[in-house]
Amino acid sequence: MAAVTALPVSLSARFKGSFAYFTVKDRLPQILTKTIDTLHRHKNEFFEEYGEKGVEAEKRAISFLSKLRNELQTDKPVTPLEDELPDAALWNQYLEYQRNLSDGNGEPSWFQSPWLFVECYMYRRIHAALAQNPPIGSFDVFKEGKAQNFFESQEAIIALCTYFQELLKNIKDLDEKQLQGELFKLLQVSLWGNKCDLSFSAGEKSSQKSSPLQCLEDMVPYIIVNDMEKLWSLLINAKKRNTDKCNVRVDIILDNAGFELVSDLVLTDFLLSSKLADEIHFHGKSIPWYVSDTTKSDFNWTIKQLQSANHMWMSRCGINWEGNLKKGVWVYQDHMFWTLPHIYSSMAEVAPDLYADLQRSNLLLFKGDLNYRKLTGDRKWEYTVPFHQALNKFHPAPLCSLRTLKSDTQVGLKPGQGEQIQASEPEWMVSGKYGIVQFDATP
C-alpha cells in the first residue's frame, strides 16, 4: 500500500513573525481603514445620488466595517455570515469545517486559523458591508485604486500597445523561432505585471512606471522556476495537431486590474493572432476582491478606456479586443468559486461545473500570488516538493502559474536553491522581486 504522507501545516498568523502574522496584524487592518476612508470620502456623492437614504447606508456600512476591524484586531472568533447572498451557505459550511479542524483548540479566529481562510473572509465581509446596504450595494470600494493604477501606468501601457501593434504587422511572416521569442517576451511582461497589485502594498500606489519590455533580459535571473519552453511545446504541438473541428482553447484565471490586466490581454491577443490558440476564456471575480482583482466591470472598463484613448495604438488594441468579445473568440466568465476560501484541490467537489468547464481547455494560465496559494493549498511546503504533488490532485487540464512571490510558500525548486537565495536575500519570498513560470501537465 502506498504510504499516505500528511500535508504540511497551513500558513497562519499563529506563527508569530511570519508573513501571515504581519499581514493579519498590520496590512489587513490598514486595508479596512482605507476602505472606511473611501466610503467617508464618497458621502456627498451618495447624498447627491440617493439623498438621505444613501448617507444612512454609508453610515451602516462604515459601522459594519469598524466592527469587523475590531473583531480582527482583538482576535475574536470568526462568526458565520448573516447575509443572504448566494454563497453564504457555502461559506458557513466552510467555517464549520474549520471548526472541526481546530479539534477543540478553540473557535476559528483571526490569529489562529489558516491565513488564507481569514483573509478571504475579510474580503467577503467587506462585500457584505456594501451588498447588504442598498442603495449603495453595488459600490466597489476598490474601484478608484484600480483606475488610478491604470492611469499611472499609462506610459507603460502605451509602450506595450505600440510594441504589440508593430508586431502584429508582420506576425504572419515570423518563423517558429521568432514566434517563440515573442511569446516568451509577452509571457514575461505578464509575469512581471503581477508586481502591480494593490493588496500587497495595502492599497498604496503600485503601478508600472518604466517600459515593460526594456529590462526583461536583466530580470531573467529572477525567474526561479522557468518552464516557458514547456509552455511553448504544448502550444506549438496543439497548433500542429489542430484541425478545424478541434479548437485550441486557452483559459486565463485573471488577477489584478490595471497594468497587469493589460499585459494579460496583450498576451492572449498574441496567442490568437499567432494562431497558437483559437479561443480564450477569461476568468474574473464576481465581487471586489483582494483590493485590485479584476471584476467584469473592471474588464469592460479597461477595454473601453483603451478604445477611447488618445493614442492610436492603445485605441487600436481596445477596438480589436471589443471585436474579439463580440466575435466570441474571447469569452469573459465568472464563478463564485473564485471568491470562496476553498483551495483548488477541492474545486472538483465544491464547484464541479467549473471543474468540468476547465477540463475543456488545452491550457490554464493562473495569474498571481493568490492563485498560487490556492493551487498549492497555502501550506508550509518544503521548497523541493514537486509542483504536481502540491497541487494535490487538482488537474483539470495542463496548467501554468505566472506569479511574483509575495507570500512565503514555494514548491518545485532545485535542492539548495531556496536556501541559497535566502542567505543573501531574507525577503525573497515576499518582496515581489522573484517570479515563476511553473508548469504542470501530468494528469
Ligand X SMILES: O=P(O)(O)OC[C@H]1O[C@](O)(CO)[C@@H](O)[C@@H]1O
Residues that bind ligand X (CB under 6 A): 23, 27, 119, 194, 197, 199-200, 255-256, 290, 368-370, 373, 406-407
Per this entry, what is the length of the chain? 443
Rounded to a whole number of angstroms, the minimum distance from the CB of residue 109 to ligand X is 18
- Max Cα–Cα distance, the chain, nearest Å: 69
Cβ-based nearer residue to Mn ion, 147 or 174 = 147
Could you give the CA distance from residue 111 to residue 72 in angstroms, rounded to a whole number? 8
- For residues 274 and 407, which CB has a smaller minimum distance to ligand X in the complex? 407
For 37-50, b where at least 16 C-beta lie within 10 A, e where not — what string? ebbeebeeebeeeb
Q: How far is the CB of 78 from Mn ion (least distance, A)?
A: 22
Q: How far apart are CA 91 and CA 342, in angstroms?
A: 9
Closest contact distance (angstroms) between CB of 97 and Mn ion is 25
Give least dist CB 435 to Mn ion, A.
15
Distances (CA, A) of 71 to 21, 79, 113, 237: 16, 10, 14, 53
Beta carbon of residue 406, minimum distance to Mn ion (angstroms, whole number): 9
Q: 365 - beta bridge partners?
A: 252, 400
- The interface partner of residue 162, options being ligand X, Mn ion, none and the CB cut-off 5 to 8 Å by kind, is none
Which of the listed partners (ligand X, Mn ion, none) does 407 bind, with a CB threshold of 5 to 8 Å by partner kind?
A: ligand X
Binding-site partner at residue 440 among ligand X, Mn ion, none, CB < 5 to 8 Å by type: none
Of 10 and 23, which has the nearer Cβ to ligand X? 23
| Contacted by 23, from ligand X, Mn ion, none: CB < 5 to 8 Å by type | ligand X
Provide the 8-state DSSP code for 344: G
Q: Which CB sits closer to ligand X, 194 or 305? A: 194
d(CA 402, CA 410): 13
> In sequence order, which residues have a C-beta less than 8 Å from that of residue 219 and are 6 or more positions away?
188, 192, 435
Choose between 164 and 289: whose C-beta lies nearer to ligand X. Answer: 289
406 binds, among Mn ion, ligand X, none (CB under 5 to 8 A by kind): ligand X
Q: Whole-angstrom Cα distance, residue 59 to residue 39?
A: 9
Q: What's the min distance (Å) between Cβ of 29 and ligand X?
A: 12
At 21, list the grid cell: 502574522
3-state SS class at 248: coil
In DSSP notation, 139-196 reads: --TTHHHHHHHHHHTHHHHHHHHHHHHHHHHTGGG--HHHHHHHHHHHHHHHHHHTT-
54 binds, among ligand X, Mn ion, none (CB under 5 to 8 A by kind): none
CB neighbours of residue 400 within 10 Å = 24
Query: How many angstroms separate the CA atoms of 255 and 263, rounded?
Result: 11
In sequence order, the 6+-apart residues with CB closer than 8 A to the CB of 155 are 209, 211
Question: Shortest gap between Cβ of 114 and ligand X (angstroms)?
Answer: 12
Nearer to Mn ion, 142 or 232 (CB): 142
User: Of ligand X, Mn ion, none, which one does residue 108 interact with (CB within 5 to 8 Å by kind)?
Assistant: none
In the complex with Mn ion, which residue's Cβ is closer, 38 or 211? Answer: 38
Which residue, 239 or 406, has its beta carbon nearer to ligand X?
406
CB of 239 to ligand X, least distance (A): 30
Grid cell in block for residue 332: 469573459
Closer CB to ligand X, 216 or 430, in the complex:
430
Provide, rounded to whole angstroms, the least separation between the CB of residue 194 and ligand X: 5
Cα 304 from chain centroid?
Answer: 21
Task: Point out which residues bind Mn ion (CB under 5 A).
Answer: 197, 255-256, 290, 293
